[in-house]
Amino acid sequence: MKKILVFLMVFLSAFLLSSCQSEIDDDVDDVNDVIVDVDDDVDDDVDDDVIVDERFDTGLLVELDTILDSAGDIDNIYGITISIDGEIFKERYFNNNEYESENNIFSVTKSITSLLVGIAIDKGYIESVNQSISDYIDIDDYETTYDLSLIKIEHLLTMSAGLVWDSSNLSGEMISLRRSTDPLSLILERELGFDPGTQFNYSDGSAHLMSVILAEATGMSARDFAYENLLEPLGIEKPYWNADQTGVNIGGCDLFLSNSSLNIIGNLVLNKGIYDGVRIVSEEWIETSTENKVATFSNNGYGYYWWLSNKWGVPLISARGWGGQHIYVIPEFNMVITSSSLGSVADAQAHSQFDEIEFILVHRIIELFVLDSMEE
């Protein structure tokens, strides 16, 4: 077996060259990465000098790089970031995007709204999820044939309010919401498709009502409340968040964040509401919001604006957005995976991008680590 020498040689070479270089690449390998000579009995198709991580075998790392490189073939993808133990492990960016490039995260916004509700409850602005929406919205202003007071905050958070919303035409519904001069009437004066709390129906209308309630309860817009109580403590600059025609931030969409910010938020959830040693949102809220609350139209569970699933028994917590925006939290591996893409595309293209990106995240990247853990 060859002696391990290359790491020292690379270090000395870099030191000598630094005297004649005006700039040096700021990127440095993780402290866990080491450069080693490969044993003589390793397959010939593996380079002699391979950057490896002592936590994983070389085969997994090579395969992971191949998977990430292949993601560049997906139309309009911006990037994929993987962190382990709170540190960036692997990342790829495409189409002139970077770690800090911001874009519309579409329905991942809902999961941010969920965190804001938890913080509002922690701080006493909202008493509990069992409160009626009538505690914050004057329901007498709206013409209906049923009792709107039966709809609770929890029903909004679990997409089970019962108000009709065409989940087969989400883009059309969202356009109507953005353009409406009276968005509350648009949402509240619809038919009641089922009794509140009895079924799941994906609704941007419900998420928008949650933004209305946050503003009423806190006396601040959702954007201002988010910045003061969530984003600024996480070191995230105040982002753009689109609002409806009355000035209320769209509760389920149109928040602009970067892969960097999504990764930080994913790690906040992974660490039960703590970031950099500081409690941002209660552990109780993180746990209850990521527990299954309602049966959905698929094999996925649903909490308070968080999707719940598993890969061969490994629990996955996720936020998912139109066109391929994702946060995947995998507690078993202390891992967070995020993705971003251009979502402002035609419906068919958005669905295609979403499916392709999710396939890579779940059925290639996460599966790779699941299989590796089974071999240990």
| pLDDT at position 49 | 38
Return d(Cα 274, Cα 255) in angstroms, integer.
22
Q: Which two tokens stand for residue 193?
A: 């498709």
pTM summary value? 0.86
pLDDT at 142 over 90: yes
In which band, very low, low, confident or very high, does the pLDDT at 51 lie, cut at 50, 70 and 90?
low
Per DSSP, what are the bridge partners of residue 301?
A: 295, 308
Over range 140-147, report the average pLDDT: 94
Per DSSP, what are the bridge partners of residue 318?
A: 307, 328
> What is 102-375's CATH topology?
Beta-lactamase (3.40.710)
Question: Are 148 and 176 a contacting pair, CB within 8 Å?
Answer: no
pLDDT at 216 over 70: yes
Return d(Cα 229, Cα 190) in angstroms, integer.
33
pLDDT at 52 over 80: no
CA dihedral 217, 275, 339, 208 (to 10 degrees): 0
Q: List the domain boundaries for the chain.
A: 1-54, 102-375
pLDDT at 218 over 50: yes
Give me the amino acid identity at 222. A
pLDDT at 310 over 60: yes
In which band, very low, low, confident or very high, does the pLDDT at 10 lie, cut at 50, 70 and 90?
very low
Return d(Cα 68, Cα 351) in angstroms, integer.
20
pLDDT digit string (tens) for 178-199?
999 999 999 999 999 999 999 9
Return d(Cα 282, Cα 278) in angstroms, integer.
11
Return d(Cα 213, Cα 134) in angstroms, integer.
10
| pLDDT at position 11 | 37
Higher pLDDT, 17 or 47: 47
Return d(Cα 106, Cα 103) in angstroms, integer.
9
pLDDT digit string (tens) for 282-295?
999 999 999 999 98
| pLDDT at position 376 | 66
- Tokens 């719940």, residue? 308
Over range 168-173, report the average pLDDT: 94
